[in-house]
A and B are shown apart, each in its own frame.
Chain A
Amino acid sequence: EVQLLDSGGGLGQPGGSLRLSCAASGFTFSSYGMSWVRQAPGKGLEWVSGISGDGGSTYYTASVKGRFTISRDNSKSTLYLQMSHLRAEDTAVYYCAKDRQVLANLDYWGQGTLVTVSS
C-alpha cells in the first residue's frame, strides 16, 4: 500500500526558514517523480515544486523560485522541501504527492502539513 507521510510544518517567521519532509513507502521511490502542492486557507490547489525520480531535474513555480529548494534522498525514500525567506503568502497546507509521470497525474497524496508564516 502506497503511503506518504508529510511532516515539518509549523509556525515560521517572515524571512525565516522551515524544512518539510515526506516519508514514502509501498512503491519504488526512486522510479517516480514527486511534487509539492499547497493550499492556502479557503483557497484552491497550487503546484509548488517537482523533482524527477533520480533528483537530477527540479521544477518550481515562479513565486517560490530562489526561495524554496526541493530535494530527495532515495536511500531513505524521503522527499524534502526547504523553505527560506518565508512570506505571509506562503501560509498553507503543504501536500507531497507521487507523480504517475513527472509533473503530471498525482496519484497518491500525503495528509498534508500546515505551514503558518506570522510574526
Chain B
Amino acid sequence: QSALTQPASVSGSPGQSITISCTGSSSDVGGFNYVSWYQQHPGKAPKLMIYDVSNRPSGVSSRFSGSKSGNTASLTISGLQAEDEADYYCSSYSSINSLVFGGGTKLTVL
C-alpha cells in the first residue's frame, strides 16, 4: 500500500482536460510544499513535470499545472495530446525523513 493515494486510471479525449488527485496526510502533502509529479512512459525513466506543488521545470509544457488543498494535491493536464498517455506519479517529502510516492495513475488518451 502506497503512502499517497492516486486513482489507478483516468482517461480523456484529445483536447480535453483531466485532473489526477494525490491524497496524503498532514505528515507529507499537507505539511510541506514539496509535492512533485512525474511522467513515465513505458520502459523509460520518470520525468519531473511539476515541483514544489505548482512549479514547472524548464521545457515542460504549460498544459501541465499543479495545485494543493489541504492534504490533497492535484495535477491538471489541459489540451490533452496523444503523447500525454503515460503513467503519472506524485511524491512528497515526509516528516519521517523520507520521500513518499503515490501508487501511480495510468492516463489513457482516447
Query: B-contacting residues of A (Cβ < 8 Å)?
Result: 35, 37, 44-47, 50, 59, 61, 95, 100-101, 103-112
Contact = CB atoms under 8 A, between A and B. Distances in A.
A37 B36 CA distance: 15
A111 B36 contact: no
Chain B contact residues, majority secondary structure: strand
29 contacts: A35-B99, A37-B46, A44-B104, A45-B46, A46-B101, A47-B91, A47-B99, A50-B99, A59-B97, A59-B98, A61-B98, A95-B45, A95-B46, A101-B93, A103-B34, A103-B93, A103-B98, A104-B32, A104-B91, A104-B99, A105-B34, A105-B51, A106-B36, A106-B46, A107-B48, A107-B51, A107-B57, A109-B47, A112-B45
A45 B101 contact: yes
Given A61-B98, A104-B32, A107-B51, 15 more contacts: A44-B103, A45-B40, A45-B89, A47-B100, A47-B101, A59-B97, A59-B98, A104-B99, A105-B51, A106-B38, A106-B91, A107-B57, A108-B48, A109-B47, A112-B45
Chain A contact residues, majority secondary structure: strand
B interface residue count range (under 10 / 10 to 19 / 20 to 34 / 35 or more): 20 to 34
Given A44-B103, A45-B38, A103 B51 contact: no
B108 to A, nearest CB: 17
Nearest to A95: B45
Contact of A103 (B45, B47, B48, B99): B99
A107 B60 CA distance: 12
A50 to B, nearest CB: 7
